[in-house]
């Protein structure tokens, strides 16, 4: 079978607006989302539907844009989301901070997601009850192309040097780095450093186009924020992860739970990061024994599923009831319970009805 790919750049959502690598601005996020997605919604739906018809699309795959699920349903073709989180759950926290005037945003996102035919759910997932048919796959990670020896040789790093990669998802860390941040005999590889930033002798800039999975696998540990990409690659390649908490991102507790379950991470306070009190955390990271031994072929598994859906060969094996989906979303976390049970937040009718069925 032959699949044809078309590429067309268009802004459909803003994700999370951040003032720096660790700070999410919930109010700015909702304001930008309103300007870029809510106000032009009718135009977006019309243009995207026209585009799908023009290219004669058989399938829409998204990570994880809610609007395209609605567009695909309007056109009459299946849609699939591939993700470990969804924006209705992320934005629910933002609405709590912004007030009830923006609650319709969460409702619209959840309603759009409900049009999605399948969710291919990645490990470390947060509750995503808006999706009706869920397919779990193994860890999806980028493959390695170079060995540890090749990476060190290319970077000119001796075998006896301890390596830590400073990785905030490609975003500048904006840290004022100093020699004394690192224990003796350590070298820090810095992702996202600006061209003008001067680094101490025991810090080294990585090229902007560096292939980070190879670097992570070659490093003794990593410092950064929790996100699916960094957590999955740290687990897959057994790189201890020293992570710094990021507020207003509901994905984090579930990734953290997975990382700690496999003995792969410890938390560093933001104050310790900024003040350079790194040594005890790096030394503690060296005592960790990451033990993730599950499959890491989720990319191949997901690709096969997507092909079968596009060809009409894949059908939902279980039709979850609304109550069952709410049960699947239940987690022993105070923040999640507070968000779901908040009286002044409008939530989808099926969600509320399911809660009543369960006696929640």
Helix spans in 156-294 (H) = 212-218, 228-236, 252-261, 270-275, 279-285
Each residue of 168-194: pLDDT tens digit?
876 655 688 999 999 999 999 999 888
Hey, what long-range contacts does 207-213 have (CB within 8 A, 24 or more apart)?
A: 211/142, 211/145, 211/146, 212/165, 212/167, 213/141, 213/142, 213/143, 213/144, 213/237
The residue with greater pLDDT, 10 or 344, is 10
* 344 pLDDT higher than 50: no
Return the closest-CA partner of residue 165 out of 64, 240, 106, 113: 240
Four-residue CA torsion sign, 260, 138, 21, 205: positive
Q: pLDDT tens digits, residue range 20-50? A: 888 889 999 999 999 999 999 999 999 999 9
Which one of 162-171, 304-313, 322-331 scores highest in mean pLDDT?
304-313
Report the pLDDT averaged over residues 299-323: 78
d(CA 322, CA 329): 11
pLDDT tens-digit series, residues 116-128: 999 999 999 999 9
Residue 252 corresponds to which tokens in the numbers above? 């984090």
Determine the pLDDT at residue 326.
44
Averaged over 262-275, what is the pLDDT? 96
Q: Which pLDDT value is given to residue 268? A: 97
Instruction: Kindly give, in sequence order, each residue whose CB lies less than 8 Å from that of residue 147, ignoring residues fewer than 6 positions away.
Output: 218
Specify the pLDDT at position 194.
Answer: 80
If you search the block for the tokens 């060969």, which residue do you land on?
A: 313
Rg of the chain in Å (alpha carbons) = 22
Q: Find out whether the peptide bond into 107 is cis, omega within 30 degrees of 0.
A: no
70-96 tens-digit pLDDT: 999 999 999 999 999 999 999 988 988
Q: Put the strands of the sheet holding 79-83 in their side by side order.
A: 60-62, 79-83, 118-121, 134-136
Specify the higher pLDDT residue, 72 or 315.
72
Average pLDDT over residues 280-289: 97
- Kindly report the pTM of this predicted structure: 0.86
Instruction: Tell whether the model's pLDDT for residue 256 goes beyond 90.
Output: yes
Q: What is the token pair recorded at 262? A: 């496999």
């Amino acid at each position: 079978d032959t699949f044809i790919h078309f590429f067309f750049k268009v802004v459909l959502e803003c994700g999370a607006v951040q003032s720096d690598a660790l700070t999410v601005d919930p109010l700015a996020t909702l304001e930008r989302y309103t300007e870029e997605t809510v106000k032009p919604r009718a135009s977006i739906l019309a243009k995207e539907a026209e585009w799908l018809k023009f290219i004669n699309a058989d399938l829409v795959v998204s990570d994880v844009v809610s609007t395209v699920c609605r567009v695909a349903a309007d056109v009459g073709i299946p849609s699939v989301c591939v993700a470990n989180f969804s924006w209705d759950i992320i934005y629910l926290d933002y609405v709590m901070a912004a007030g009830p005037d923006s609650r319709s945003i969460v409702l619209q996102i959840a309603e759009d997601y409900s049009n999605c035919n399948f969710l291919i759910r990645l490990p470390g997932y947060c509750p995503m009850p808006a999706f009706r048919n869920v397919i779990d796959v193994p860890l999806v990670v980028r493959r390695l192309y170079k060995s540890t020896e090749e990476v060190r040789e290319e970077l000119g790093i001796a075998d006896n040097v301890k390596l830590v990669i400073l990785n905030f998802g490609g975003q500048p860390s904006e840290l004022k780095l100093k020699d004394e941040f690192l224990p003796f005999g350590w070298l820090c590889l810095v992702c996202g450093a600006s061209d003008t930033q001067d680094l101490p002798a025991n810090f080294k800039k990585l090229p902007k186009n560096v292939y980070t999975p190879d670097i992570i696998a070659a490093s003794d540990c990593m410092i950064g924020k929790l996100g699916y990409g960094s957590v999955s690659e740290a687990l897959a390649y057994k790189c201890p992860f020293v992570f710094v908490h990021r507020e207003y991102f509901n994905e984090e507790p579930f990734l953290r739970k997975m990382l700690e379950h496999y003995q792969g991470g410890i938390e560093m306070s933001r104050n310790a990061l900024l003040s350079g009190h790194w040594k005890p955390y790096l030394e503690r990271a060296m005592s960790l024994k990451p033990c993730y031994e599950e499959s890491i072929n989720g990319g191949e598994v997901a690709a096969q599923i997507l092909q079968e859906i596009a060809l009409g060969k894949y059908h939902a094996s279980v039709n979850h009831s609304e109550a069952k989906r709410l049960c699947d979303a239940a987690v022993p976390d105070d923040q999640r319970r507070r968000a779901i049970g908040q009286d002044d937040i409008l939530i989808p009718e099926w969600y509320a009805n399911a809660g009543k069925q369960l006696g929640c």
